[in-house]
Amino acid sequence: MTARQRIKKLYLRSRGAVLRVLPASRGCIPAGGDALRRILLIRLDRVGDVVLTTPAIEALKTRFPRAELTVLLRPQAAALLENNPHVDRCVVLDPGAPAVERARALRELRRRRFDLAVDPCVDWKLATAVIAWASGARVRVGYPCGGREAFFTAVAELPDGNAHMTDVILGTLKPLGIHGPKPQPRLYLTAEERNRAAGWLARQGYGGRPLLGIHPGAFYETQRWPAGNYATLAGGLQARFDVILFGGPADAGVVERIRSGITGGALAAVTPDIRWFAALLSCCRLLVCNNSGPLHMAAALGIPTVSFMGPTEKPLWLPLGEGQVVLRMDGLSCIGCNRGVCPSGTLECMWRITPDMAAEAVLRLA
């Protein structure tokens, strides 16, 4: 355990001891579904977290079909739940907004008079637990991490270390009597969105060969396979595929570097519009990417993937579904360090995955 980890552990233990002194309001959860008519699910996280929350959303709506289900999200992630038949309303809250705006949003939540608030966060941060409490919901469910349980009326049992993130999120619902089979993560595109994407590709000169998508972005540097490797991979597969490079505005530079390194050229779609990306992604035969939000979006759309995993915890963040290949250097002693900056400064867990290894995986799926 590093010094940083020891300090964090001591802090959480101390904070938990303080918060547990507060009077907790534990109560009975109504047995009848009709007693919980207004439900709030809090998911102020990034793209992948929201995608992997869709099974819990479906499970909640199946258990309480007459309830109105509201999901609280970051502005960037709200579009992921458009057209989701299990969601009645999305409310956005920017955690980085001025305090006045955040207070106004919380007052609006409280006015909705929720019966149930669900916080599936298993992290140590208090923000979402406080939001659950501030919503005024009479039943509040979440995990007991670092004293967060002080804000809930019922707590879920913490998952073991081998659980997948979808199981972690669904585990929050067990105090509500939801133990059924696990739905798959799903995104819902309209026919109009798919047709628009197909039309755009045709206007770019796409001729109908199998389309290989590449998304080189990731939140942390340690999660990113080298740009040169992506270019080498794409160039070597052009006999079999047309290539389209994806990215958000922050990825524009790396997308252009990869594109310029592909001798035969490639299409590129750099956009902040997450639904436009999803529509174009749905036209791909498969996606090559890092372990990031786009990976879980592809899996939720039923698109096969080849992905690169280094510092990420393997059981927790594996893509779900058929045709999902993960390349990982399991023999390294530092693998799965869960750090945003490489402790050794080498990024060896990514550099050791070669373009040939990736090409072999792609051709197995093609």
DSSP annotation of 186 reads -
Of the listed ranges 108-117, 231-240, 310-319, the least confidently predicted one is: 310-319
The order of strands in the sheet holding 286-290 is 267-270, 242-247, 211-215, 286-290, 305-308, 324-327
DSSP 150: G
Angle at 56 between CA 29 and CA 67, to 5 degrees: 55
Across residues 110-133, what is the average pLDDT? 94
How far is 294 from 53, CA to CA, in rounded Å?
A: 15
Q: What is the pLDDT of residue 180?
A: 78
Tally Cβ neighbours within 10 Å of residue 2. Answer: 10
Q: What is the pLDDT of residue 63?
A: 94
Largest CA distance in the chain: 67
Residue 124 pLDDT > 80: yes
Residue 246, pLDDT above cutoff 80: yes
Helix (H) or strand (E) holding 128: helix 127-134
Query: Would the CATH topology of 13-176 be identical to that of 193-365?
Result: yes
pLDDT digits (tens, 9 = 90+) for 125-135: 899 999 999 99
Side by side, which strands form the sheet with 116-119? 89-92, 68-73, 38-43, 116-119, 139-142, 154-155
pLDDT tens, residue by residue, 7-64: 555 554 554 454 555 555 555 566 556 689 999 999 999 999 999 999 999 999 999 9
**Domain boundaries 193-365, CATH class:** alpha beta
CATH superfamily for 13-176 is: Glycogen Phosphorylase B; (3.40.50.2000)
Q: Whole-prediction pTM value? A: 0.91
Number of H helices, E strands in the chain: 14, 12
What is the percent of the chain where pLDDT is above 90?
Answer: 79
Determine which of 76-80, 266-270, 323-327, 337-341 has the lowest per-residue pLDDT on average.
337-341
User: In the prediction, which pLDDT does 29 show?
Assistant: 65
pLDDT of residue 20: 55
Of 1-10, 57-66, 123-132, 178-187, which gets the smallest average pLDDT? 1-10
- Span 166-175, average pLDDT: 96
Ordered by start, the domain boundaries in the chain are 13-176, 193-365
Question: What pLDDT is recorded for position 146?
Answer: 85
Say if CB 17 and CB 47 are below 8 A apart.
Answer: no
Q: Supply the mean pLDDT for the chain.
A: 91
What does the alpha-carbon distance between residue 361 and residue 366 come to, in Å, rounded to a whole number? 9
Query: Tell me, what's the pLDDT at 32?
Result: 58
Q: Which of 112, 116, 108 is nearest to 137 (CA)?
A: 116
pLDDT (0 to 100) of residue 14: 56
Q: Residue 1: pLDDT above 70?
A: no
CA distance linking residue 16 with residue 18, whole number of Å:
5
Q: What is the pLDDT of residue 181?
A: 82
State the first-to-last Cα distance of the chain, in angstroms, to the nearest integer.
42
Has residue 292 got a pLDDT over 70? yes
Question: Over 90: is that where the pLDDT of 314 sits?
Answer: no
User: Taking the CA atoms of the chain, what radius of gyration do you get in angstroms?
Assistant: 22
Helix-strand-coil split of the chain, %, nearest 5:
40, 15, 45
Which amino acid type is present at position 110? R
Cα 292 to Cα 254: distance, rounded to the nearest angstrom: 16
- The answer to whether 223 touches 216, Cβ cutoff 8 Å, is no
Over residues 136-166, the pLDDT tens digits come to: 999 999 999 889 999 999 999 998 888 999 9
